[in-house]
Amino acid sequence: MTDNNSGDNDNVVYLNERIKYMVDPVPMVCEVAGRMLSDVVIVGTGKDGSIKMMTSVEDIPDIIWYLETAKYSLMAGGLTEEEE
């Protein structure tokens, strides 16, 4: 992982480049995710204030892997992926 934020294609997702918030960002985030991702784990807050999760992933260990990867990304400030 590098500390530069030059926009080079270095396979690092910088968390400081978040989607800008708008009045109702959930539909926009879901639309973008639908175009970009093959599997999703969505965690959010319901209208009643409770924590909700929706996923297209059936295997519980895979769900945990996605959540732990997101946690690592938040703690490390970015996510480095292996090149294929």
Dump pLDDT digits (tens) for 38-55. 999 999 999 999 999 999
By CB atoms closer than 10 A (0-12, 13-18, 19+), residue 66 is: middle
Q: Is the pTM of this model over 0.85?
A: no
Asked if 74 and 15 touch (Cβ cutoff 8 Å), the reply is yes
- Can you list the residues of the chain whose pLDDT is less than 70? 1-22, 78-84
Give the whole-angstrom CA distance, residue 48 versus residue 11.
37
Q: Residue 37: what pLDDT?
A: 92
Measured in residues, the chain has a length of: 84
Structure tokens at 13: 């997702």
Of the candidates 37, 69, 72, which has an alpha carbon nearest to the alpha carbon of residue 55?
37
